[in-house]
Amino acid sequence: MDMAVTDKKPAASAWAPFSHSSFAVLWVATVVSNIGTWMHDVGAGWLMTELSSSPLVVSAVQAATTLPVFLFALLAGAVADIVDRRKLLIAVNVLLAAAAATLATLVSLDLVTPLVLILFTFALGTGAAFVAPAWQAIVPSLVPRSELPAAIALNSMGINVSRAIGPAVAGVLIVGVGLWSPFALNAVSFIGIIAALLWWKPPVTAEKTLPPEDVGAAIVAGLRYAVHSSPLRATLVRALAFFLFASAFWSMLPLIARVVLSGGPTLYGLLLTSVGVGAIAGALLLPRLRTRFGLNRIVALGSVGVATSLMLLALVPVAGVALVAAVIAGLSWISVLSSLNHAAQMSLPDWVRARGLSIFLTVFFGAMSLGSLVWGQIANSYGIPVAMLLAALGAIVMIPVTWRSQINDTEGNGLAPSMHWPAPILSGGNAEPDKPVMIQVMYAVGATDRDRFLALMRELSDARRRSGGYDWSVMQDAADPRRFVETWREASWTQHLRHHDRVSLQDQDIQARIRRLQIDDAQPSVTHLVTPSH
Hey, what domains does the chain have and what are their CATH numbers?
17-203+212-401 (1.20.1250.20), 437-530 (3.30.70.100)
Q: What pLDDT score was predicted for residue 313?
A: 93
d(CA 358, CA 133): 5
Per-residue CA distances from 303 to 125, 311, 317, 379, 404 (Å) = 26, 12, 21, 21, 16
The 10 Å Cβ neighbour count of residue 292 is 10
> CA-CA distance, 327 to 304, in Å (whole number)?
14
CB 350 within 8 A of CB 312: no
CB 36 within 8 A of CB 188: yes
Contact 462, 503 (CB under 8 A): no
pLDDT at 50 over 60: yes
Given a cut of 80, is residue 204 above it in pLDDT?
no
pLDDT at 89 (0 to 100): 93
Which of 92-106, 230-244, 338-352 has the lowest average pLDDT? Answer: 338-352
Note the pLDDT tens digit of each residue in 262-292. Answer: 887 778 778 878 887 888 888 778 778 877 8
| pLDDT confidence of residue 409 | 65
Residue 33: is it exposed, middle or buried by C-beta count within 10 angstroms (0-12/13-18/19+)?
A: buried
User: Is 361 or 326 the better-scoring residue by pLDDT?
Assistant: 326
3-state secondary structure 303-324: HHHHHHHHHHHHHCCCHHHHHH
- In angstroms, rounded to a whole number, what is the distance separating the alpha carbons of residues 443 and 445? 6
**Residue 353 and residue 310: Cα distance in Å, rounded?**
34
Instruction: Give the pLDDT band (50/70/90) at residue 4.
Output: very low
**Candidate from 95-109, 227-241, 367-381 with smallest mean pLDDT:** 367-381
Which amino acid is located at 6 in the chain?
A: T
Q: What is the pLDDT, as a whole number, of residue 188?
A: 93
Q: What is the pLDDT of residue 3?
A: 36
390-412 mean pLDDT: 87
Q: Is the pLDDT of residue 8 over 60?
A: no
DSSP 8-state code for residue 530: E
Average the pLDDT over each of 36-40, 145-149, 357-361, 441-445 and give the range with the smallest value.
145-149
Query: Mean of the per-residue pLDDT values for the chain?
Result: 85
pTM to 2 decimals?
0.78
Angle formed by the axes of helices 230-255 and 319-346, nearest 10° = 160
Which is more confidently placed, 327 or 212?
Answer: 327
